[in-house]
Structure 1
């Protein structure tokens, strides 16, 4: 980011698929969990998980694992009432894969998540006087691990799973923005535009809900294509189209392409572009 611009905006980031690649961690844990609770009969593919996520309401991966399991058994003519899956057992198994079995430290898939962002990018935002923070459906422990231990950030503004309802409910986004706004800005009649950066339909729906509930502020959704969808051109384009249809103003292949210039363009309503 080399542009000498200081657009007046607040930028809030999702974490999974934006800050870190979770295709080999969260998504792998989903597949493991569904495979386990279907007794090895069904292991969802990345595309299966994408299809579910595209419905815009399965941001919680524990609930997504349960839903995929239910849907598999429904193809065999079982009802949910007959199955009555143990949600707590699903969570426990999922966490044993993702977090690991050691209660005192992370030993699972989380330890091998590639980073998709360099802390220098955030430093550039700070230099441009753009407040930034994180609103994620990840647990606070998982989010803090990636932000503080892996990225080296010091107590960044973070609203995590335990702090707010699941997306697309915008309560957590509102809370993040309130934490980032200075007391001076809070009293300003001209509210600072907010850019929310996410990789799922639920993230874009969250922005839509924010507009409905707080129409006095400008809310802008920016999509990022997670690494696993970029391997096949047709899959990448289809995923981008879903983000656009869900409300994304721009879609990027990496979060760091959201430069100061791009933020300025968004604030000035230049419209959609895929980069």
Structure 2
């Protein structure tokens, strides 16, 4: 039987790396973009991308692409100020790979993203009184595509890129919680796969210490290919503040939520 505390919990989910596997989509588009703007001289590896994101401030993949391009040229002794990088051009190229060349008819990498859970998982949370929603750095169109078209959710609570500053700023997390909360004392669990996600929880706790904030680290598929990499990534998330590390978001059951709130 579910305890009263778990029935009052709010669970907010990141999307990329938690709800869908973006190893062959967002991350592939990021690598394509860096390769294109370095004239095919440098294609970042998945580990290169993870190392950048471990800094905790590169949650936006467009900005991450630009930063890796900058760093490549800086390593070649070309100062940033001498580079003529146009951010909008970088974004447009990235989107041409991720969504496809036609913004009205998506044919890009997004169409092939594996889902990491079943929609019935959310039904299970609802059945025991757990409120849930999404806070993601993905664009609203991209997030809605996976939540509504792929998973079949009906108008879920969602705060996306256009709605709030990027992580680790906690504004978007607060906005999601306020759309779900019945009272200010409900504990909040945020499930994410990056250092920025865990930093967001830490910042939220510092701003609203009267509420319980718990960060749950979810290991994205691309880091689970070897034990060494999985363990290193898990340790990075723990050091960033994760209370627990899970291999898949469906492991965050109502029983596990109950344990976290004790």
* TM-score, normalised by the number of residues in structure 2: 0.98
Looking at structure 2, the residues matched to 145 and 106 of structure 1 have their Cα atoms a distance apart, in angstroms, of 10
Q: Is the 8 A contact 1:99 1:109 kept in 2?
A: yes
Deviations 1:184-237 (A, max 9, x none): x35xxxx10000000000000000000011111110000000000000110000
Question: How many Å apart are 1:84 and its aligned residue?
Answer: 3.1
Looking at structure 1, the residues matched to 23 and 3 of structure 2 have their Cα atoms a distance apart, in angstroms, of 34
Deviations 1:6-34 (A, max 9, x none): 61210000000000000000000000000
Looking at structure 2, the residues matched to 74 and 104 of structure 1 have their Cα atoms a distance apart, in angstroms, of 37
1:227 lines up with 2:252 in the alignment: no
Looking at structure 1, the residues matched to 2 and 24 of structure 2 have their Cα atoms a distance apart, in angstroms, of 37
Question: How many Å apart are 1:76 and its aligned residue?
Answer: 0.4
Looking at structure 2, the residues matched to 48 and 156 of structure 1 have their Cα atoms a distance apart, in angstroms, of 34
Looking at structure 1, the residues matched to 3 and 124 of structure 2 have their Cα atoms a distance apart, in angstroms, of 11
Q: Is the 8 A contact 1:195 1:220 kept in 2?
A: yes
Q: Is the 8 A contact 2:186 2:211 kept in 1?
A: yes
Matched with 2:11 is 11
Q: Is the 8 A contact 2:2 2:258 kept in 1?
A: no
Matched with 1:34 is 34
1:89 lines up with 2:83 in the alignment: no
1:196 lines up with 2:190 in the alignment: yes
Return the match for 1:213 from 207, 210, 230: 207
Matched with 1:272 is none
> How does 1:88-237 map onto structure 2 within 5 Å?
88-182=88-182, 185=183, 191-237=185-231
Looking at structure 2, the residues matched to 249 and 215 of structure 1 have their Cα atoms a distance apart, in angstroms, of 16
Matched with 1:263 is 257
Matched with 2:65 is 65
Matched with 1:24 is 24
Aligned-residue CA RMSD in angstroms? 0.9
SS at match of 2:16: coil
> How does 1:238-257 map onto structure 2 within 5 Å?
238-257=232-251
Matched with 1:45 is 45
Looking at structure 1, the residues matched to 180 and 106 of structure 2 have their Cα atoms a distance apart, in angstroms, of 29
Question: How many Å apart are 1:103 and its aligned residue?
Answer: 2.0
Moved more, 134-143 or 95-104: 95-104
SS at match of 1:133: strand
Looking at structure 2, the residues matched to 110 and 81 of structure 1 have their Cα atoms a distance apart, in angstroms, of 34
5+ residue gaps, structure 2: none
Q: How many pairs are equivalent?
A: 260
Flag as ranges the 4+ runs of structure 1 deviating above 3 A: 3-6
